[in-house]
């Protein structure tokens, strides 16, 4: 597991509490499982990669199908019925004993979050972020979901739909005053995203992975 926060807060195995001296000044939060729907992909990263967009199933007793005793059976059944797959913690032992999930002691109980996030506390204020290293590891995690076929590649039909949505967005942005820097940057970003999606569409038609490097199609962050 990453060690950035272990010096400041007490990271503990999820299955038990710790008698910690340094407690995160944040409310307790329940464990969760990441989920994915086959129609949820987005363009992200330096090169405009088409990667899975994950959802979250919060395992809080009495909420969203989770039984008062903590059983998540009905929550899983409901998720599957709506087309969502659950990413099981044990599928990712390389990330640590609890996969992508970790926890620290907060002043009101355990605070659960992903191993790619880092809480920082200044006084009583807590901020959450994916620092550069964590963000890079998270992006690699998303790529691995496709490489290992835990998540299926986006379909040709989905990519075609995404292109249509982005073209509509480009038309809306093109109607604005493009002499303004902010408007021009937003317009150019969407134009590059469309270009990236068209490349992905062509690859998908040929049966080539959308993960194939395409460094000449760098999409700026935004």
List pLDDT tens digits, range 50-106: 999 999 999 999 988 899 888 999 999 999 999 999 999 999 999 988 999 999 888
Q: Over 60: is that where the pLDDT of 121 sits?
A: yes
> What is the per-residue pLDDT for 48?
80
State the sign of the Cα–Cα–Cα–Cα dihedral 170, 173, 177, 182: negative
> What is the per-residue pLDDT for 212?
65
> What is the per-residue pLDDT for 21?
55
- Give the single-character DSSP code of 152: P
> What is the per-residue pLDDT for 170?
96
Q: Is the pTM of this model over 0.85?
A: no
> What is the per-residue pLDDT for 46?
65
Tell me if 68 sits within 8 A of 21, measured CB to CB.
no
pLDDT in tens, 147-193: 999 999 999 999 999 999 999 999 999 999 999 999 999 999 999 99
Determine the Cα–Cα distance for residues 197 and 187; give it in Å rounded to an integer.
15
Lowest mean pLDDT segment, chosen from 74-83, 108-117, 129-138: 129-138
Short-list 66, 63, 64, 37, CA closest to 52: 37
> What is the per-residue pLDDT for 59?
94
If one counts every other C-beta atom within 10 angstroms of the C-beta of residue 204, the result is 20
> What is the per-residue pLDDT for 6?
41
Percent of the chain with pLDDT over 90: 61
């Amino acid at each position: 597991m990453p060690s950035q926060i272990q010096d400041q807060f007490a990271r503990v195995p999820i299955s038990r509490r710790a008698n910690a001296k340094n407690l995160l000044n944040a409310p307790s939060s329940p464990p969760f499982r990441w989920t994915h729907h086959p129609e949820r992909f987005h363009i992200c990263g330096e090169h405009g990669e088409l990667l899975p967009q994950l959802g979250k199933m919060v395992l809080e007793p009495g909420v969203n199908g989770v039984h008062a005793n903590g059983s998540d059976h009905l929550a899983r059944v409901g998720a599957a019925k709506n087309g969502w797959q659950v990413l099981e913690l044990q599928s990712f032992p390389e990330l640590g004993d609890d996969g992508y999930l970790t926890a620290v002691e907060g002043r009101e109980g355990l605070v659960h979050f992903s191993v790619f996030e880092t809480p920082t506390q200044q006084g009583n204020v807590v901020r959450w972020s994916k620092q550069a290293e964590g963000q890079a590891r998270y992006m690699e995690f998303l790529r691995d979901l496709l490489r290992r076929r835990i998540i299926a590649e986006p379909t040709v039909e989905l990519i075609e739909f995404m292109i249509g949505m982005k073209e509509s967005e480009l038309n809306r942005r093109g109607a604005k005053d493009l002499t303004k820097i902010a408007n021009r940057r937003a317009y150019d970003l969407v134009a590059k995203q469309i270009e990236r999606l068209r490349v992905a569409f062509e690859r998908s038609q040929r049966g080539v992975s959308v993960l194939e490097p395409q460094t000449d199609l760098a999409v700026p962050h935004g």
